[in-house]
Structure 1
Amino acid sequence: MAVWLVLLCSLPGCDYARMKEQEALQTYKTALPEMPAGTIPVGGGIETLKKSDPKSLRNPLPFSEETTNKGRESYAVYCIMCHGPKADGNGTVGQSFHPLPTALRDPKVQAMTDGEIFYNLSFGIKRQPPMAYTVSAQDLWAIVHYIRFLGSSSGS
């Protein structure tokens, strides 16, 4: 009986209607602004690239000293820790891998088309991480030119 008396006395102190009007509960009713048409792409992009034939991809950047230097800079940021300063697979991080990362001067790498190298850089191969999600396509194409430069006699 005492429990019922306590319960009846405490009911007037609860104001459930006011609790529903708390700011914490009302934030989800905020209307979002309209999104302009064409904001989210529905075609093309990385998924189209992933489905393409790597041999059909063509490097849009001209092979020049400027693009090779840009590739060297990008290589120093994204690749050198595994492939090493001599591109021989003996980078600081790469030394802990077995097998070692690919030597980029290797004739097998140099025999690949630009598109194949770009595709492997973009989506990864074996231990090579996919870089298309973090590195711009322009930087990846410049790295392809730098890899070509490494394979030439002047790249030594």
Structure 2
Amino acid sequence: MKKLAVLMVLAPPLLGAVLFGYILVRGPRMTVQHHVREFQMVLPAPPAGTVAVAPAISRAPGEAGAAALTNPVAATPAALAQGETYYGYYCVFCHGATGAGDGPVGNSYVPRPADLRLPKVAAYRDGELLRAMLTGTGHEPVLERVVPPGHRWPLVRYLRLLNSPR
């Protein structure tokens, strides 16, 4: 009776292990898979009357052009509130709520994010600050692809507020 109970307890897992091993060793192989490479793909023709349009790519200004740029967004309370919102979207996780570079994500980076309250940052012109914001060092350069062009100048305006004494 004990042997039958032991056999009933051990047989299902043992049978499962044998079946798993068989499928693992002798099971289906992934050697033949249907795939179409991009260069082999034949795209359908566009509908009649359509016109192809290339998206406009907004790049950060070059070093020479950055100094000449001025912020087109006026320093109104609405623009500052908008910039503060954008700062919360894009910057606060690395630079922290006060811009000290002590955000929860930024603490894990080496080097740590810049302290946006430093006099060095305050000395930048608006165009230079925009360029540094979009093409900075470390993990920051992704901002050129993440921050939409319409959000950039209000963000620069808000960064000026971080540098001013309150």
**With structure 1 as the length reference, what TM-score do the two structures score?**
0.69
Pairwise CA distance, 1:40: 1.9
State the partner residue of 1:76: 88
Mapped partners of 2:63, 2:125: distance in 1: 17
2:114 maps to what in 1? 102
Structure 2 match to 1:152: 164
Show the 5 A alignment for 1:50-129: 50=62, 53-129=65-141
Instruction: Point out where structure 1 has 5 or more consecutive residues left out of the alignment.
Output: 1-26
Query: What is the CA–CA distance in structure 2 between the aligned matches of 1:31 and 1:99, rounded to whole Å?
Result: 50
> Does 2:48 correspond to 1:36?
no
In structure 2, what is the Cα distance between the partners aligned to 1:47 and 1:94? Answer: 25
CA deviations 1:21-72 (Å, max 9, x no partner) are xxxxxx94742225426x226xx74258457621111211111111111110
8 Å contact from structure 1 (residues 105, 151) kept in 2: yes
Q: Structure 1: which amino acid aligns with 2:45?
A: A
Change (3 A) 1:51 1:76: same
Structure 1 counterpart of 2:96, one-letter code: G
Q: Is the 8 A contact 1:121 1:130 kept in 2?
A: no
Q: Does structure 2 retain, via aligned residues, the 8 Å contact 1:50–1:123? A: no
CA distance in 1 between counterparts of 2:101 and 2:131 reads 19
Residue identity (%) = 31
Q: Distance in 2 between matches of 1:101 and 1:139?
A: 20
Distance (Å, rounded) in 2 between the aligned partners of 1:102 and 1:141: 19
Which TM-score applies when normalising by structure 2?
0.65
Q: Describe the SS at the equivalent of 2:145.
A: coil
Which blocks of at least 5 consecutive residues in structure 2 are unaligned? 1-40
- CA-atom RMSD, angstroms? 2.4
